């Protein structure tokens, strides 16, 4: 674990100095502050508007940050040839990959904590209260970010940043709407290659699980402003996310170990 920890800390220091990180976080903070203005324009719905737009903005920019970091870090290491001195030491490729992922996870946790702090301050000014539902929603967003980061790292283990970014964003879009596809399959409304679409529901991550607000679940409308998911749901979803991350990391290790870096 010493090698993994060394790569983790080095990755964290590298990402913290990345200007792209500050740019995305800056625009995210601006968007959260704009929710204050939009909330003031609403008719006695300041807290609801601020909550919905704030969480949506945090989710969007966090995913964007995960994609940018996930698809670029490995490529930078190979292009700058900084990877070779590390691997020449007693550091296995799987240790390097796992350390990279954990370093990105730590950076994203810090960025999400900053955005969450700004969001809670704005919400408090509007007269809202940081509730249990909001805490669970923020944790679910972070879990989704971790899954997307693992997906981005997998694609970047064998492809260019542009292709990896497109594939990761495509996976995110499909994953967020996978519940709709499952409903179509259950209703037999998809008649063209249903087996292929059924495979999509297995291969692609069910990212809608990490953003349940505004969806119907077990004949009940789930919203962060009223009835929201419980801690048990969070634990179950965390277990699913951890399993999917493990699969992505295992696939990344297999591909990266067999890749010719010369």
Write the pLDDT tens digit of every residue in 31-62.
777 776 766 666 667 778 788 888 888 898 89
Q: Cα separations (Å) of 170 from 59, 154, 173? A: 16, 14, 5
Dist CA 44 CA 163 (whole Å): 45
Q: Would you call 213 helix, strand, or coil by DSSP?
A: coil
Using an 8 Å Cβ cutoff, are 156 and 166 in contact? no
Average pLDDT on 105-123 reads 89
Which band of pLDDT confidence, cut at 50, 70 and 90, is reported for residue 152? very high
Q: 66, 81, 248: which is closest to 155 by C-alpha? A: 248
What is the pLDDT, as a whole number, of residue 194? 60
Which band of pLDDT confidence, cut at 50, 70 and 90, is reported for residue 183? low
Dist CA 3 CA 7 (whole Å): 6
Side-chain-facing half-sphere of 219: CA atoms under 13 Å: 0
Q: What is the mean pLDDT of the chain?
A: 82
Q: Would you call 220 helix, strand, or coil by DSSP?
A: strand
Dist CA 106 CA 181 (whole Å): 33
What is the pLDDT, as a whole number, of residue 48? 80
Dist CA 242 CA 221 (whole Å): 26
What is the pLDDT, as a whole number, of residue 51? 83
pTM: 0.88
Lowest pLDDT segment from 26-35, 107-116, 129-138: 26-35
Q: 78, 117, 120: which is closest to 100 by C-alpha? A: 78
Write the pLDDT tens digit of every residue in 187-236.
565 555 566 666 667 788 999 889 887 776 666 777 777 778 889 999 99
Dist CA 34 CA 63 (whole Å): 19
Q: Cα separations (Å) of 187 from 182, 198, 239? A: 9, 13, 28
Average pLDDT on 8-37 reads 78
What is the pLDDT, as a whole number, of residue 184? 62
Q: Cα separations (Å) of 135 from 51, 142, 231, 257, 259? A: 12, 11, 10, 38, 41
- The first and second tokens of residue 245, run together, are 């991350």
Write the pLDDT tens digit of every residue in 63-110.
998 998 888 877 777 777 777 777 777 778 888 889 999 999 999 999
Exposed/middle/buried for 162, CB within 10 Å: 0-12, 13-18, 19+?
exposed
What is the pLDDT, as a whole number, of residue 254? 92
What is the pLDDT, as a whole number, of residue 248? 94
- The first and second tokens of residue 246, run together, are 């493990």
Average pLDDT on 247-259 reads 89
Dist CA 144 CA 63 (whole Å): 8
More confident: 193 or 240: 240
What is the pLDDT, as a whole number, of residue 75? 78
């Amino acid at each position: 674990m010493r090698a993994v920890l060394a790569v983790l800390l080095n990755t964290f220091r590298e990402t913290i100095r990345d200007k792209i990180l500050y740019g995305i976080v800056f625009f995210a903070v601006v968007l959260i502050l704009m929710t204050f203005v939009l909330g003031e324009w609403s008719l006695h719905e300041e807290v609801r508007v601020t909550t919905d737009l704030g969480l949506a903005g945090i989710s969007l920019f966090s995913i964007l940050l995960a994609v940018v970091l996930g698809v670029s870090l490995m490529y930078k290491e190979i292009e700058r040839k900084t990877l070779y001195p590390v691997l020449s030491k007693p550091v296995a490729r799987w240790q390097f990959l796992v350390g990279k992922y954990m370093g990105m996870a730590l950076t994203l946790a810090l960025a999400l904590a900053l955005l969450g702090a700004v969001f809670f301050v704005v919400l408090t000014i509007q007269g809202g209260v940081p509730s249990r539902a909001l805490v669970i929603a923020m944790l679910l967003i972070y879990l989704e970010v971790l899954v997307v980061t693992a997906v981005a790292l997998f694609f970047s283990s064998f492809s260019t940043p542009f292709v990896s970014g497109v594939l990761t964003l495509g996976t995110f879009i499909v994953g967020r709407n996978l519940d709709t596809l499952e409903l179509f399959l259950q209703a037999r409304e998809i008649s063209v290659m249903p087996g292929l679409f059924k495979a999509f529901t297995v291969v692609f991550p069910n990212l809608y699980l990490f953003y349940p607000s505004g969806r119907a679940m077990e004949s009940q409308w789930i919203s962060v402003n009223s009835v929201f998911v419980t801690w048990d749901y969070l634990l179950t979803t965390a277990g699913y996310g951890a399993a999917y991350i493990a699969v992505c990391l295992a696939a990344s290790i297999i591909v990266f170990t067999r890749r010719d870096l010369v």
